[in-house]
């Protein structure tokens, strides 16, 4: 079994990114700017946003976290987003999910300029991904694809099963695997004989949001297992969707939680902000 070290890969990629950012600043006087809007006091979001900001600053980005109360109105939040859309010094805008119940998440995501949508959630960017012309793509599946590349895990012709159908992970992950010539099945909580289906996979990506849901009975011997889950057990310990201790003896490659997919999600967010900065520069010079 080979442990896929997402943390080490993230450090490697972010180091190269910092060099590119420094070169861009020196040659063109431009610094990629990422703003994260955090609504309310959700503990998990607070930690995630703090890690994003720390990584962005370490890579030489201009970074700002705008913290607003959970009582903010939808109109006020839309106006805040619009302010950063109009400011050319910010190349990436991210509104941290989830949002309070009185705010329509879809309306907020639709309001972000697709060119600054570094999370890749705008319908325009989703459509470009599904049509084979991706520009901005969701960071988590993008990070997983980098893991496959780093560890030289072949995808062409392989059977891949993605457990989870969210717009954030499951659906875009399936499309990226399809683009890499894998044969893909999307499964979910309502799939019949789920364990039996999962056991046919050469590549198994699990993003179902249930702690230790996938046991060794779901895993084909020698399969590559990617665990996207971030859950807390009864003792408050961070665990994945995969029962790591029993699955690691069956899988050929596996990601840990923490230290697997998470660091790569932040890394790809920064990479896309850098790319958005380059695209903005090209547009401005035309």
One-character DSSP codes across the chain:
-EE--HHHHHHHHHHHHHHHHHHHHHHH----EEEEEEES--HHHHHHHHHHHHHHHHTT-EEEEEEE-TT--HHHHHHHHHHHHH-TT--EEEEPSP--TTS-HHHHHHHS-GGG-TT--SHHHHHHHHTT--SS--HHHHHHHHHHHHTT---TT-EEEEE---TTTHHHHHHHHHHTT-EEEEE-TT-TTHHHHHTT-SEEEE-S--TT-B-GGG--TT-EEEE---EE-TTS-EE-SB-HHHHTTT-SEE--SSSSHHHHHHHHHHHHHHHHHHHHHHHHT-
State the average pLDDT over residues 191-219. Answer: 97
Closest to 113 measured CA to CA, from 84, 143, 77, 149? 84
Cα–Cα distance for residue pair 93/171, rounded to 1 Å: 22
Of 100, 115, 130, the position where a domain reaches its end is: 115
The catalytically annotated residue of 115, 116, 117, 119 is: 119
68 & 155 share domain: no
195 & 236 share domain: yes
Domain presence at residue 88:
yes
Domain presence at residue 122:
no
211 & 252 share domain: yes
Token pair of 120 as six digits: 């890749």
Token pair of 10 as six digits: 């993230």
pLDDT at 195 over 60: yes
The catalytically annotated residue of 14, 52, 117, 272 is: 52
96 part of the active site: yes
The catalytically annotated residue of 5, 14, 96, 220 is: 96
163 & 219 share domain: yes
Give 16's contacts (C-beta < 8 A, 6+ positions apart). Answer: none
**pLDDT value at residue 286:** 36
Cα–Cα distance for residue pair 219/250, rounded to 1 Å: 7
- Give, in order, the Cα–Cα distances in Å from 197 to each of 149, 155, 163: 25, 18, 10
Structural domain that includes position 245:
139-261
Domain presence at residue 67:
yes
152 & 249 share domain: yes
98 & 158 share domain: no
Domain presence at residue 60:
yes
Q: Is 165 annotated as a binding residue?
A: yes
119 part of the active site: yes
Of 62, 80, 115, the position where a domain reaches its end is: 115
Q: Is 166 annotated as a binding residue?
A: yes
% of the chain residues with pLDDT over 70: 98
52 part of the active site: yes
Q: Is 252 annotated as a binding residue?
A: no
Domain presence at residue 230:
yes
Domain presence at residue 147:
yes
159 & 246 share domain: yes
The chain-wide mean pLDDT, for the chain, equals 95
What's the N-to-C CA distance of the chain in angstroms? 51
CATH of the domain at 183: 3.40.50.720
Domain presence at residue 275:
no
- Maximal CA-CA distance, the chain: 57
Cα–Cα distance for residue pair 136/276, rounded to 1 Å: 8
Strand order in the sheet with 253-254: 2-3, 253-254, 224-227, 203-206, 159-163, 183-187
Question: How many domains does the structure of the chain reveal?
Answer: 2
**pLDDT value at residue 44:** 78
144 & 256 share domain: yes
pLDDT, one tens digit per residue, over 22-72 is: 999 999 999 999 999 999 988 878 888 999 999 999 999 999 999 999 999
Cα–Cα distance for residue pair 268/75, rounded to 1 Å: 30
CATH of the domain at 79: 3.40.50.10860
145 & 231 share domain: yes
Domain presence at residue 202:
yes
pLDDT band at 283 (very low <50, low <70, confident <90, very high): low
Number of Cβ within a 10 Å radius of residue 11:
14
**pLDDT value at residue 281:** 81
151 & 255 share domain: yes
Q: Are 1 and 252 in contact (CB under 8 A)?
A: yes
163 & 103 share domain: no
Of 57-71, 203-217, 237-251, 272-286, give the lowest mean pLDDT range: 272-286
pLDDT band at 256 (very low <50, low <70, confident <90, very high): very high
């Amino acid at each position: 079994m080979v442990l896929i070290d997402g943390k080490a890969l993230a450090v490697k990629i972010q180091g190269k990114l910092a060099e590119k950012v420094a070169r861009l600043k020196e040659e063109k006087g431009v610094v990629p700017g990422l703003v994260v809007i955090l609504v309310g006091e959700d503990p998990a979001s607070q930690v995630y946003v703090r890690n994003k900001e720390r990584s962005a600053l370490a890579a030489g980005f201009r970074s700002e976290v705008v913290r607003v109360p959970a009582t903010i109105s939808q109109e006020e939040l839309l106006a805040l987003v619009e302010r950063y859309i109009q400011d050319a010094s910010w190349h990436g805008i991210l509104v941290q999910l989830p949002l309070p119940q009185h705010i329509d998440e879809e309306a907020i995501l639709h309001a972000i300029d697709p060119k600054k949508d570094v999370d890749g959630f705008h319908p325009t960017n989703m459509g470009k991904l599904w049509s084979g012309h991706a520009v901005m793509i969701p960071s988590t599946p993008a990070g997983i694809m980098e893991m496959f590349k780093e560890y030289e895990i072949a995808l062409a012709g392989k059977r891949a099963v993605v457990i989870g159908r969210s717009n954030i992970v499951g659906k875009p992950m399936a499309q990226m695997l399809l683009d890499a010539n894998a044969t893909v099945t999307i499964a979910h909580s309502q799939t019949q004989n789920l364990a039996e289906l999962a056991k046919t996979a050469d590549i198994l990506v699990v993003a179902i949001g249930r702690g230790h849901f996938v046991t060794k009975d779901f895993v084909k011997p020698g399969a590559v297992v990617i665990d996207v889950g971030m859950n807390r057990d009864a003792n408050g310990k961070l665990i994945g969707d995969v029962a790591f201790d029993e699955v690691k003896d069956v899988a050929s490659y596996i990601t840990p939680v923490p230290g697997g997919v998470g660091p790569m999600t932040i890394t790809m967010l920064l990479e896309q902000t850098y790319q958005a900065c380059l695209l903005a520069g090209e547009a401005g010079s035309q």
